[in-house]
Amino acid sequence: MVVSLLIIIGFLVTASVSFYLSRQSALNTLVEHELPLTSDNIYAEVQRDLIKPRTVSSFMGNDTFLKDWILGGEQDVAAVTRYLKEVKQKYGAFTAFMVSDLTRNYYHAEGILKQVSEQDSRDDWYFRVRQMASDNELNLDPDMANGDELTIFINFKVRTSDGSFLGATGLGLNLANIKTILSDYRARYGNNVFFVTRQGDLLLHDQALPLASNLYKESGMSDVVNDILSTKEGRFSYRREGKTYLLNTRHIEELDLILCVEAEEGKAAEHLFTPLLITLLICALVTGVVLLLLLRALNHYQQELESVAWQDPLTGLLNRRAFADRYQRYQSSHLRSEKPLSLLMMDIDHFKAINDLGGHARGDDVLQLISGVLNQRLRPSDCLGRWGGEEFILLLPETNLDQASRIAERIRKEVEGSATILDVAEQAVTLSIGVATQRERLDLDLHVQLADTALYEAKNKGRNNVCCAS
């Protein structure tokens, strides 16, 4: 009864602490991952929608048809109208346009829209493009040809071969698809996603967003609104209508807009209550059984896991991870003593032919036999492992290059002369071996690279020999 009581009390305490930590983890996930990820996804959507139109606008700006048509006196309006209409339809743009600097005519897919004028403030974009140093720009403006729908325009200069300005052309993208994305994110994650201008005006948002038309009008944001509008990327917290909200912001330089992703803090832990109650009920019933099974299973699985963690399942040798760990242990002692540390990289010659002749089962048998040969004369301090495939690796502490070369030669001869290996493989089996020694700079990657280089040299010399790294 005492033990059971202790278990129940311990479980209740654990469950309470677990719920608290889970709640903190949920909040942390919301702040560190979910909100930034949503922001990144929407930013990627905006960027993806801009890459293709920018490329198309570049093609339009350099299209000889448009240049020749303008220089030819703009005689056939139907031709350029048809050109713009085909570009619009082919690339799914909201609008396609071209403005000639010779006549100041504004052409789009339906014909001539107007003549641009320096006296019309709505044409300021054209004269800005005319004066700018770069060939293109991206801006956000109402589209007169489509009922003043808010549109992202990609403007590109049209120039003659000598660089003279002929006009401006490009595409326009409707922002309705972005609003659809915002609604979709709200439906899936419960987050509010919206865009604001650098002046705080709410520009693009889901229709259900309960915010004022300008962030300065939101009393809960009064302490952070200036930071929101001036920070390139930021995370903020504020209260609105008695609830705490978390906000992740990101400045989209191409549009000069601020992307905001908002989430209610309390909703982060709502999904934890039901699992907590279910967990308390189930665990109260099975705690006793679990304790009994756990004690019995723990020792068994711990031994299994330790074996899997360091042992190659086929040969029983150290795997790569365990070998690297063992190398680290030798590294510190050899650096202090400045004694040499040699490494042998061994590769079975023509191992594919063995597999092709007898199948992978025969290849596995050969690998096991060779690992047995390599294991026969190891010193207690030596470290042997399977590096991968048909490669073995042998670490020889306190062994210089000459000594390591002699050991490698002995191994090569023993494998070549093994009758057992020959019987199983039904063909001659040999090793190519690369030897490398380090004394001052002990680094496994560098050490393996040197031994590998020597191994390749051994193979290039005809295989079945030993080469040492210089």
Tell me what pLDDT residue 459 has. 94
Q: Is residue 369 part of a domain?
A: yes
Last residue of a domain, one of 251, 268, 285: 268
Q: Is 126 left (phi over 0), alpha (psi -120 to 50) or beta?
A: alpha
- Find the CATH number of the domain harbouring 119: 3.30.450.20
Do 255 and 169 lie in one domain? The reply is: no
Known catalytic residue at 390: yes
Identify whether residues 182 and 169 lie together within a single domain.
no
Q: Output the pTM of the full model.
A: 0.43
Whether residue 280 lies inside any domain: the answer is no
Of the listed 149, 338, 390, 457, which one is catalytic?
A: 390
Under 8 Å between Cβ of 435 and 466? yes
- Are 233 and 120 in the same domain? no
Q: Which residues pair with 165 in a beta bridge?
A: 159
Say if 12 falls within a structural domain.
no
H-helix or E-strand spanning residue 165: strand 165-174
Is residue 289 one of the residues assigned to a domain? no
Task: Identify the H or E element spanning 139.
Answer: strand 136-143
Contact between 394 and 382 (Cβ < 8 Å): yes
Helices (H), 267-338: 270-310, 320-337
- What is the rounded distance in angstroms from the CA atom of residue 408 to the CA atom of residue 400? 12
Number of domains in the chain: 3
Residue 361 included in any domain: yes
* Judgement on whether residues 248 and 219 belong to the same structural domain of the protein: yes
Q: H or E stretch including 354?
A: helix 351-376
Decide if 287 is inside a domain.
no
pLDDT value, residue 207: 64
> Which pair of tokens denotes residue 458?
């051994």
| 38 and 159 belong to one structural domain | no
CA-to-CA distance for 434 and 461, rounded, in angstroms? 12
Q: Are residues 375 and 410 in the same domain?
A: yes
Q: What is the pLDDT of residue 448?
A: 94
Pairing of strands 111-115, 105-108: antiparallel
Residue-level pLDDT, tens digit, the chain, 470 residues:
665 667 777 777 777 777 777 777 777 776 777 777 777 877 777 677 667 788 899 999 999 999 999 999 999 999 999 999 999 999 888 889 999 999 999 999 999 999 999 999 889 999 999 998 888 887 777 777 777 777 888 899 999 988 899 999 999 877 766 677 777 777 776 778 888 888 888 877 776 677 788 888 887 888 889 999 988 888 888 888 888 888 889 888 766 788 888 888 777 666 666 776 777 777 777 677 767 777 777 778 877 777 677 888 899 899 998 999 889 888 877 877 778 999 999 999 999 999 888 888 999 999 999 999 999 888 888 999 999 889 999 999 999 999 999 999 999 999 999 999 999 988 999 999 999 998 777 889 999 999 999 999 999 999 999 999 97
Residue finishing a domain among 158, 174, 190: 174
| 418: CATH | 3.30.70.270
Looking at the structure, tell me whether residues 41 and 165 fall in a common domain: no
Distance CA 37, CA 248 (A): 10
What is the Cα–Cα distance from 231 to 258, expressed in whole angstroms?
9
Helix and strand totals (H; E) in the chain: 13, 16
Question: Do 357 and 414 have their domain in common?
Answer: yes
Asked whether residue 285 is assigned to any structural domain, the reply reads: no
Instruction: Classify burial at 270, counting beta carbons within 10 Å of its beta carbon; exposed 0-12, middle 13-18, buried 19 or more.
Output: exposed
Question: Considering 268, 297, 328, which residue would you say is the last residue of a domain?
Answer: 268
CB 311 within 8 A of CB 353: no
Is residue 26 in some structural domain? yes
Are both 378 and 263 inside the same structural domain?
no
Residues 324 and 450 in one domain: yes
Domain carrying residue 432: 320-468
Residue 27 dihedral angles phi and psi, to the nearest 5°: -65, -40
Task: Calculate ∠ Cα 238-240-242, nearest 5°.
Answer: 110
Same domain assignment for residues 140 and 194: no
* Residues 149 and 197 both lie in one domain: no
